[in-house]
């Protein structure tokens, strides 16, 4: 099979090539935010435009274009949609068993009556812990549904969960994203995570306070903001301490646990509240699934019976001149994947609480029917992301930003932002741009650990407005066609936090 060389500057003028590579992303944002298209239609039309750009401007072979899109569709179905659907099924089973009502009772009996505190504990702290155990959109789905059960409007619950699903994302699934970054950049894991933890400190505090502000309907209650400040600081400091003195892979688990304990103790002392036992068994489903996920990742159980399929037309058939490497495309079919573990956890909960098999079957079929358009959207956006990656559009965007010279640290985070915004995957963004971040830093005389850390830190803020993440949250609460509204609400926060990240690091590089 003929080798295809992926072009960085297909037009011969880098600014024009950059504009061409932006067409699918801009069309996606415009269709969602201005024309208010539903997510699956916006993703489909953007994919068609990406096909046109890939074939006419990048002159990619048909085999590359169609193979990459189909590869993305399949990845969107399994493992991503498989995880999300079974996470919602677990919630539905827990609700049928009465666990959601009990959990709501526990929250109301153990915490002051504050929407800000509920959002902080569920989305920021519990969601952060679930992300550290297992990512892939699972915490977004769970946090959104739990917040709705506590009386939040569905659209508000989704927005809060998306904002909260940021800080621990680089350390998801016991550090898979940062390990990927270390591997592709050929840099040591520990220094990357130390720099990354420092960069995430202001983001952690800002996100915690932002969650309290939005959840409290923008009311000023200094005592609640104090809890938010404590939660953000303790999470950030704990991530740094674990990265510095222990194993960085454990940051996504140990740091949220430390922050949860510190915050509970502070709330108990500050508001004279006790941790009630009423409704405590409402935590059982989440303890079961978190334990099962952690056991699966730590023991490698999820790789049992794994089948690797080399994607014809992609694997070893594309040369990437910027990196001097051949593209890899290996689809891993994992029967005991994270979604399967979520399904098994749901069945265990159903058995413990004595649900009838007919009731369980009805819940499962209903979950798939409800999630149909969300699954379609996720598959299409992953197809678009893989198409942009394998035909070179994504790399052109990142490469163009690397020409900003001494201002590169300000924009370095936006490279990671673009990667995660398009694909919905922090791991994918790190795999795509990790090597570019190192090479650009070395050419500019900047410590490469700073820029690789920025790629991961910027990526988590792009995930906030990724269509894949938005689709997961909306489908979890049963909303359709609100993707544009969510993106309009959050994109300003996402871009502002990414700019703050870049400016903070830029000032640091000047001072040092």
DSSP line for 493-506: HHHHHHHHHHHHHH
Q: How many CA within 13 A on the CB side of residue 280? A: 6
Distances from the Cα of 43 to the Cαs of 8, 26, 120, 478, 484, in angstroms? 24, 11, 32, 19, 12
Sorted by sequence, the CB contacts under 8 Å of residue 423 that are 6+ apart come out as 382, 385, 386, 389, 429, 432, 466, 468
Q: Which has the higher per-residue pLDDT, 500 or 136?
A: 500
For residues 428 and 411, give the distance between their C-alpha atoms in angstroms, rounded to a whole number: 19
pLDDT in tens, 17-66: 999 999 999 999 999 989 989 999 999 999 999 999 999 999 999 999 99
Distances from the Cα of 108 to the Cαs of 84, 141, 231, 278, 409, in angstroms? 28, 21, 19, 10, 44
DSSP state of 6: P
Q: What is the 3-state secondary structure (H, E, C) of 464-485?
A: CCCHHHHHHHHHHCCCCCCHHH
Distances from the Cα of 504 to the Cαs of 199, 260, 450, 458, 508, in angstroms? 8, 27, 12, 12, 6
Mean pLDDT of the chain: 90
Structure tokens at 4: 């295809």
Instruction: Count CB neighbours of 212 within 10 A.
Output: 28
For residues 468 and 241, give the distance between their C-alpha atoms in angstroms, rounded to a whole number: 32
DSSP state of 356: -
Residue tagged 């300000």 (tokens) = 410
pLDDT in tens, 315-366: 999 999 988 999 999 998 888 877 898 899 999 999 999 999 999 999 999 9
For residue 14, is pLDDT > 90?
Answer: yes
Residue 104 has a pLDDT of 82
Q: What is the dihedral of CA 468, 471, 472, 476, to 10 degrees?
A: 180
Q: Which has the higher per-residue pLDDT, 441 or 163?
A: 163
For residue 457, is pLDDT > 90?
Answer: yes
CB 216 within 8 A of CB 112: no
Q: Which has the higher per-residue pLDDT, 92 or 218?
A: 92
Residue 201 has a pLDDT of 96
Geometric angle at alpha carbon 5, from 2 and 7, rounded to 5°: 150
User: Could you tell me which of 274, 343, 276, 293 has the C-alpha nearest to residue 93?
Assistant: 343
Residue 70 has a pLDDT of 96
Residue 325's DSSP bridge partners are 320
Phi-psi region of 272 (alpha: psi -120 to 50; beta: other; left: phi over 0): left
CB 423 within 8 A of CB 433: no
Tell me which H or E stretch contains 51.
Answer: helix 39-56
Question: What number is the average pLDDT over the span 258-285?
Answer: 82
pLDDT-derived band at 180, boundaries 50, 70, 90: confident
DSSP state of 167: T
Tell me which H or E stretch contains 175.
Answer: helix 172-185
For residues 113 and 224, give the distance between their C-alpha atoms in angstroms, rounded to a whole number: 11
Question: What number is the average pLDDT over the span 305-313?
Answer: 92
Residue 276 has a pLDDT of 62
CB 483 within 8 A of CB 159: no
Residue 484 has a pLDDT of 93
Residue 277 has a pLDDT of 62
For residues 297 and 55, give the distance between their C-alpha atoms in angstroms, rounded to a whole number: 40
CB 267 within 8 A of CB 90: no
């Amino acid at each position: 099979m003929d080798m295809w060389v992926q072009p960085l500057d297909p037009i011969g003028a880098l600014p024009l090539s950059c504009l061409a590579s932006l067409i699918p992303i801009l069309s996606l944002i415009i269709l969602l935010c201005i024309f208010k298209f539903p997510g699956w239609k916006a993703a489909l039309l953007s994919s068609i435009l990406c096909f046109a750009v890939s074939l006419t401007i990048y002159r990619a072979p048909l085999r590359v274009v169609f193979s990459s899109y189909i590869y993305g569709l399949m990845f969107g179905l399994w493992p991503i949609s498989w995880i999300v659907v079974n996470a919602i099924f677990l919630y539905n089973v827990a609700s049928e068993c009465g666990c959601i009502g009990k959990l709501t009772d526990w929250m109301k009996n153990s915490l002051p009556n504050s929407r800000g505190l509920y959002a902080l504990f569920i989305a920021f702290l519990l969601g952060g812990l679930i992300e550290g155990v297992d990512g892939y959109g699972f915490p977004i789905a769970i946090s959104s549904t739990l917040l709705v059960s506590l009386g939040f409007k569905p659209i508000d619950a989704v927005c809060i969960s998306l904002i909260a699903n940021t800080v621990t994302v680089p350390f998801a699934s016991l550090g898979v994203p940062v390990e990927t970054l270390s591997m592709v950049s050929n840099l040591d894991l520990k220094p990357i995570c130390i720099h990354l933890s420092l960069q995430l400190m202001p983001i952690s505090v800002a996100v915690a306070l932002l969650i309290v502000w939005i959840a409290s309907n923008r009311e000023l209650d200094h005592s609640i903001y104090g809890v938010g400040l404590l939660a953000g600081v303790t999470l950030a400091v704990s991530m740094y301490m674990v990265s510095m003195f222990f194993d960085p892979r454990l940051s996504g688990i140990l740091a949220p646990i430390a922050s949860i304990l510190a915050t509970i103790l502070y709330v108990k002392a500050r508001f004279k509240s006790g941790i009630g036992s009423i409704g405590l068994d409402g935590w059982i489903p989440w303890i079961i699934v978190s334990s099962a996920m952690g056991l699966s990742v730590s023991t490698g159980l999820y790789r049992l019976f794994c089948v690797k399929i080399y994607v014809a037309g992609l694997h070893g058939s594309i040369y990437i001149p910027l990196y001097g490497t051949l593209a890899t495309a290996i689809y891993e079919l994992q029967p005991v994947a994270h979604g399967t573990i979520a399904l098994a956890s749901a069945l265990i909960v159903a058995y413990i609480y004595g649900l009838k098999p007919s009731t369980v079957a009805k819940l499962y079929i209903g979950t798939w029917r409800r999630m149909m358009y969300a699954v379609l959207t996720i598959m299409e956006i992953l197809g678009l992301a893989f198409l942009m990656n394998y035909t070179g559009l994504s790399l052109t965007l990142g490469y163009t930003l690397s020409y900003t010279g001494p201002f590169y640290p300000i924009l370095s985070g936006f490279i990671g932002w673009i990667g995660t915004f398009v694909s919905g995957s922090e791991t994918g963004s790190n795999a795509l741009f990790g090597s570019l971040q190192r090479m650009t830093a070395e050419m500019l005389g900047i410590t490469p650990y700073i820029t690789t850390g920025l790629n991961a830190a910027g990526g988590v803020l792009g995930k906030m407005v990724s269509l894949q993440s938005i689709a997961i949250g909306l489908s979890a609460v049963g909303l359709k066609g609100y993707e544009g509204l969510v993106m309009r609400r959050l994109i300003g926060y996402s871009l502002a936090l990414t700019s703050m990240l870049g400016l903070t690091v830029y000032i640091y590089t000047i001072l040092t």
